[in-house]
Amino acid sequence: MATLLLATDRTTCTVHAFKTGLQQQPLPLPLPWSNNRSVRENVPYFANLTSTIDVADVDAKSTKTLKNTTPMVAVASVSVQRKKPKPKPTTRHKQTKKLQQQQTRQTRTRTRIQRQPPGPYAFPIVGTLFDFFSRGGVDGMCDVHESMYQDYGEIYGMNLASGDVAPGEYSEVVLCDPRMYDQLLKQETRFPVGAASQVTSFVDYYQENNLTVASGSVSNGPDWKEWRQATSPDMSGLWETYLPTIAETCAKISKIAGREVSIEQNMEFGTDFLSRAAFDMFSAVLYGESPHTTNSRLVSPQDLEFVVATQRAFDITGQLMTNPIHKFLKSNLYDQFVLNMDRTFQFATDRTKEYAEDAVEARYQQQQQQQQQQEKELVGISAPPTTTTTSSISNDEDNTTRSTGSGGGTSGCPIAAIKAATSSSSSYLSHRTDRQKKKSIDTKFSNPSFVERLIHREQLSIEEISESIAPLLMAGLDTTAYQMSWFYLHMASSPDIQETLATDLHTHLGGSDVTTKEQLDSLLYLKACIRESHRLTPTGAMQVKTLPNDIDVVMSSSDDDNTQNNKKDNNTEYYCTIKAGQRISLNLRGYPMDPNYVEAPQTYQPERFLPEAIAQRKGTMAALALDHPDFADAFGRGKRRCLGANVATAEMMILAARLLQDWKIALVDDNEAIHSPTKTWKPIQKLMLRADPYPSMTLVPREKHNTLDKM
Ligand code: HEM
């Protein structure tokens, strides 16, 4: 063991280190150093340079010494190891080194000054609530954050009656510059806090009902990781394989759309029809077939009840979040939420169980076929190839897992054996190591639904699968419906753009459905229309994050202009400390709506997102305001990015491609157009923003669409 003596100079932010023990010697320093990291966190820099320090042995207690001393001296115990041969520098190493050198240069020359985020005065108890309501309040969330951006710029603070914050301080920091938000994303820990975990009504419901798997999805620790690893490969990873099923469902939806919405007027397009369409599409992904809730002649009462209960629970959640008093007072609204959640959960669990049991049976049949094939091969009989690719369901783990129950001629009922393997209540946690080996899975199942894939993976029991599906249904229905409702409102409000899009779709697809990723990629104008809809009318004005540690965020104005002193001062770096647990938001109404960066920001202009326009503005502030990945979509970024982002995007695009090739979508009353001064609707904050009351729409068949379906 040797001792590493660290001495830092706060003014220059450099650190000097000396190794003691064997022989005291200065290391080749100064090194990049952050006073906000503990010794343990800083030491990797040393390890990189000297390759003699075992970081794991650094004494954590030294953190305190380091933080409170000026100039600081900290002692870290480190073990000295045999010098390893220097690894050959890869491009990544070179880039890291270059970055480190840049950082070192910067820290040598720049003075760092801490600043508080500006913002309205935060009163005791009510915080900045008065200011919030004066700018538009809950329903005017977009207006609030547009005006806050205008008044305070790249960063500001708010406190919406968060009792546990001292007067004058903020419970929430809002960032407008995506470069600052990126600094947070870069420091995400292994278990980052997800926005989903802030939807407290869901979290409470899962906990109160002992729903452990569902709770995992909204937790912020190893349980979340476990849940995400179990669900992500088949939802985010294999999203492309669901395209044909989604396309088939969309074709059916489009066939009856005119009849349901315009002729028989069984449902309103923007509210009922789109929610049911979202349910049909997502059910097709989950179970492999659509429940046809958009078709009033085929819909079952239970399915309809489910859609209504989910919508209701989702909307009430929005109200509970903006007014948590309901929960504390155990008001009728909270009871309503619980009632609707109970219905949703019961339905999703029962339905998933049915499909999961079918999938187990189908799997057994496949295994039987596989076994027969192998036996025939063994006795030298050349068997004809089967339609199901047996290798598609076999992988390393299959052989070991299955042999215990179903394969190898074991006695007893094979279906029961498979069921036993997949319904062991301990399976979720107990076979973790085995499960993690199963990195990829073949996609050629006879019915590649999400539930079936989970069954084939043998990672979760039937009960666990059933429990994980309900939160997905909750997360995946109205989010998609709300997003689509804004897109179609733009389409109906801008008939010329709708025509351009319909022509473009016809050029690329010639009337056919979208079933491949290549087709999706070719629909640039549709992508631009969806992207522009998100810019102008996002389903939320903000993207939300919380961090488990304090973090310093360097303000972007340090690089652009020293705004405080109104003169250039590139030697000063301003930073703001964001505290652990403090709510952080990215303002989607700042830069993307700033006329200094975006031409005619209030107008719906999808052309601004076509490749030529994007190429032209590269490297400018306009590119930052329009093309930064933080602003690109509504799914969040980082490790907690929406699990269903790929599937939801595919659903929205495939449905739009089908509907707009078949139908002209028009406002019943032209005065309800999105920027019309006579419009009667307002954006209302449910869990997300939605036009309320959503203007009525009608579907007119396009020329080639001659007959309405007689289903
Ligand atoms: C247009 C539709 C959708 C929108 C706008 C949306 C939006 C979001 C957002 C903003 C988050 C929080 C991200 C963060 O914490 O940074 C999220 C998380 C999540 N979404 Fe979506 N979502 C949509 C559709 C779906 C679908 C179809 C599913 C079904 C799989 C889904 C499942 C989830 C889940 C499970 C999470 C939690 C992820 C985690 O914390 O690891 N979402 N979504």
Cβ atoms of residues 558 and 573 within 8 Å? yes
Identify whether 693 is preceded by a cis peptide bond (ω within 30 of 0): yes
Q: What percentage of residues in the chain have a pLDDT greater than 70?
A: 70
Mean pLDDT, the chain, integer: 77
Whose alpha carbon is nearest atom 12 of ligand 1? 195
Taking the centre of ligand 1 as the mean of its atom positions, its distance from the CA of residue 475, in whole angstroms, is 6
Taking the centre of ligand 1 as the mean of its atom positions, its distance from the CA of residue 188, in whole angstroms, is 18
Candidates 264, 615, 259, 634; CA nearest to 481 is 634
Whose alpha carbon is nearest atom 27 of ligand 1? 476
Domain boundaries along the sequence of the chain: 2-109, 114-210+541-632, 353-466
Q: What is the pLDDT of residue 435?
A: 36
Give the chain's largest Cα–Cα span.
Answer: 91
Q: Tell me the pLDDT band of 65, cut-offs 50, 70 and 90.
A: very low
For 124, residues 6+ apart whose C-beta sits below 8 A from its C-beta are: 167
- Which of 335-349, 411-425, 589-603 has the weakest average pLDDT? 411-425
Q: What is the pLDDT of residue 3?
A: 45
Residue 700 has pLDDT above 50, yes or no: yes
Taking the centre of ligand 1 as the mean of its atom positions, its distance from the CA of residue 493, in whole angstroms, is 28
Query: Is 182 in a helix, a strand, or coil?
Result: helix
Distance CA 121, CA 354 (A): 56
The DSSP code sequence of 71-109 is SEEEEEEE-B-PPPPPPPPPHHHHHHHHHHHHHHHHHHH
Cβ atoms of residues 313 and 202 within 8 Å? no
Whose alpha carbon is nearest atom 19 of ligand 1? 642
Distance CA 455, CA 419 (A): 10
Dihedral angle, C-alpha 488, 493, 495, 498, nearest 10 °: -30
Distance CA 548, CA 584 (A): 12
Q: Tell me the pLDDT band of 46, cut-offs 50, 70 and 90.
A: very low
Residues touching ligand 1 (Cβ under 6 Å) are: 194-196, 217, 228, 235, 282, 472, 475-476, 479-480, 483, 539, 634-636, 640-644, 647-648
Identify which of 643, 655, 689, 690 to mutate to test ligand 1's pocket (most ligand atoms within 8 A of the CB).
Answer: 643
Pull the structure tokens for residue 232. Answer: 């992500």
Crossing angle of helices 462-476 and 414-423, in 10° steps, is 60
User: Rounded mean pLDDT of 391-407?
Assistant: 28
Please classify residue 709 by burial: count the beta carbons closer than 10 Å to its beta carbon, then call 0-12 exposed, 13-18 middle and 19+ buried. Answer: middle
Q: Please name the helix (run of DSSP H) or strand (run of DSSP E) that holds residue 307, with its range, or none.
A: helix 301-322
| Chain segment 633-672, per-residue pLDDT in tens | 999 998 999 999 999 999 999 999 999 999 999 999 999 9
| Chain segment 673-696, per-residue pLDDT in tens | 999 999 999 988 777 889 999 999
| Chain segment 102-131, per-residue pLDDT in tens | 555 555 566 888 888 899 988 888 888 889
Distance CA 645, CA 649 (A): 6
- Which of 282-286, 388-392, 492-496, 636-640 has the weakest average pLDDT? 388-392
Q: Tell me the pLDDT band of 378, cut-offs 50, 70 and 90.
A: confident
Q: Which of 244-258, 300-314, 325-339 has the highest mean pLDDT?
A: 244-258
Residue 67 has pLDDT above 90, yes or no: no
Q: Check residues 550 and 257 and name the one with the higher pLDDT.
A: 257
pTM score? 0.76
For 3, residues 6+ apart whose C-beta sits below 8 A from its C-beta are: 19, 20, 21, 75, 76, 77, 78
Q: What is the pLDDT of residue 93?
A: 55
Terminal CA-CA length for the chain: 80
Kindly tell me the sign of the dihedral angle through the C-alpha atoms of 511, 512, 513, 518. Answer: negative
Query: Is 17 in a helix, a strand, or coil?
Result: strand
| Chain segment 327-344, per-residue pLDDT in tens | 566 678 888 889 999 999
Whose alpha carbon is nearest atom 26 of ligand 1? 476
Taking the centre of ligand 1 as the mean of its atom positions, its distance from the CA of residue 280, in whole angstroms, is 18
Residue 636 backbone class (left: φ over 0; alpha: ψ -120 to 50; beta: rest): left
- Which of 177-186, 554-563, 626-635, 640-649 has the weakest average pLDDT? 554-563
User: Rounded mean pLDDT of 383-392?
Assistant: 37
Q: Which of 108-112, 197-201, 251-255, 287-291 has the highest mean pLDDT?
A: 251-255
Cα 536 to Cα 542, 629, 637, 652, 681: the distances in Å are 13, 16, 20, 17, 16
Taking the centre of ligand 1 as the mean of its atom positions, its distance from the CA of residue 472, in whole angstroms, is 9
Q: Check residues 58 and 44 and name the one with the higher pLDDT.
A: 44
Candidates 376, 658, 372, 387; CA nearest to 511 is 658
Residue 614 has pLDDT above 90, yes or no: yes
Taking the centre of ligand 1 as the mean of its atom positions, its distance from the CA of residue 648, in whole angstroms, is 9
**Number of neighbouring beta carbons within 10 Å of residue 479:** 21
Paired strand residues for 662: none
Residue 419 has pLDDT above 90, yes or no: no
Distance CA 72, CA 69 (A): 4
